[in-house]
A = this chain, B = another copy of it.
Amino acid sequence: MRISKFFISTQKEAPSEAELISHRLMLRAGYIKKLASGLYTWMPLGLRVLRKVETVVREEMNKGGGIEVLMPAIQPAELWQETGRWEVFGPQMLKIRDRHDNEFCFGPTHEEVITDIARREINSYRQLPVNFYQIQTKFRDEVRPRFGVMRAREFVMKDAYSFHADFDSLKQTYEVMYDTYTRIFTRMGLQFRAVAADTGAIGGSNSHEFHVLADSGEDGLAYCPTSDYAANVELAEAIPSSMVRAPTGETMQKIITPGQKSIEEICTFLNVSPQQVLKTIAVLDAENNFILILLRGDHMLNEIKAAKIIGEFRFASDDEIHRYMGCRTGYIGPVNAAVRILADRSAATMSNFVCGANDDGFHYISVNAGRDFNLEESNVHDLRNVVAGDPSPDGKGILELCRGIEVGHIFQLRTNYSEALNATFLDEQGKSQFFEMGCYGIGISRIVAAAIEQNYDEKGITLPAAIAPFQVGILPIGMNKSETVKTATEQLYKNLDAADIEVLLDDRNERPGVMFADLDLIGVPHRVVIGDRGLAQDVPMVEYKGRWDLEAQFIPLKDILSFLRSKTTHITSLP
């Protein structure tokens, strides 16, 4: 492609509202243009990357036995009312009335539509299993769309839905999809991790998220470098410390701690470590029962884990704390507290610790559960986020933490949707059964942003070759002045094109500085500079530099084609 026949519009600066590096770089490189809040046009460069991601996903889904379909974006309300999600889905769903005042939505997902197709088209176990997928534009009306295409309102998604005669078959396809996703992200050249995920409201079954690893990721992940354990921090189990609880020491003592309310303040004031201080958190459950949750001072409450024990809950207000405990927020503790008490496993192994005295300006020291307050074994649970250094739940090492961007999610839905929509088939015995179902999503457009979060430097985008917009950039120096440069440039361009190597020729007649900066910004893996100086040597030379190389090197002009061919294997090509 010649830039003169293409459309490149790079910018020096990104708008200040773009917080994320991928958002800034995609705007600056002209990958995308904003139309309105959460709505972006994919410009020619960006679309090439999007299409490559799409191509990799499609090819691997086909290999994994997926069968492509295309469902309407606009869906009738009736189906959503059948599953009860019309109301439940909330304002993220873009609801629409047509000219006849019938209700529709712009599909945020397609469980209802595909299950409706299955209940009408699949009658017999002989048609099972089947795994339908589509690559399609979806819409979720985010309250505050941001981060560019990372969290846009309109986005491209691959969603797949599998139907099975029994749970074993579902588990098999789930495994195949797990492997397919692994192949997809590996082939794209991304660093990623599959982690066990929370199954949320649907409950019970297996679910994995696929995360592209990046410091800017919204999700915290825990993994064990010496085993294959990995989980979202929301879900990772903090297993009981093997450490034996230290023996009880001297008698509990009430001390004056004026103005020392936070863990940090009390540690400094008493010169103790947070591990020696009890963190007490007050919450109210759905029936407004007041509950104290005890954690070690250096640990954080995991709200998902807590909700699994006490159901839906909220944090107590200052007023409620005062009403139930008779003191201000910073001074509460379990001693003499006539309320329900839950303790995290690590808190339960503490001895001789510091905690609030339920008296403004006072703490207790040398406190021990059992002796100084009652703590039943049945009230001790895993209630905290894991931290780096915790033992891995599989017993095979020590956990580390990292951050990730969720780009895929696979899910064993079981019979949730087939029951809601009364979707059945006849089994081998002629008996009507609900379909077992799985669903498998990939955020196609989000992957582009996530890949850039992981692959950039101070000059711009450094996407892996598999999804880069072009493979080779040719920068001719003084092409319009030197016939030699022009001839060598045109010849190499023609040869690369004939060899099916995607090449971008900068024939704009711009200053070299502009050409170099643009090519580095937009993220082309291989750069060839053709100039009179190199061509004038005894053996005519051109300059080559890989986007990740520190130094350029000179390659004889006669060898450059085979050199580039060896550098550009295993790429994804577009028509």
Contacts and interface: CB of A to CB of B under 8 A. Distances in A.
Most chain B beta-carbon neighbours within 10 Å: one of A36, A91, A96, A113:
A36
Interface string A155-166: 000000000000
Interface residues of A, number: 53
A120 B32 CA distance: 13
Contacts of A39: 72, 74-76
A187 B397 CA distance: 62
Contacts of A137: 73, 136-137
Interface in A377-435: none
A69 interface: yes
22 contacts: A7-B130, A9-B121, A33-B117, A33-B121, A36-B76, A41-B71, A41-B72, A41-B117, A43-B69, A44-B68, A47-B68, A47-B70, A50-B70, A55-B575, A73-B137, A73-B139, A74-B106, A74-B154, A91-B99, A94-B96, A99-B141, A136-B137
A65 interface: yes
A40 interface: yes
A39 to B, nearest CB: 4
Contacts of A113: 35, 41
A137 B136 CA distance: 9
Nearest to A65: B5
Nearest to A70: B42
A94 B72 CA distance: 15
A568 to B, nearest CB: 19
A154 B575 contact: no
A143 interface: yes
Contacts of A104: 36
A116 interface: yes
Contacts of A47: 68-70
B35 A139 contact: no
Given A7-B67, A121-B9, A74 B130 contact: no
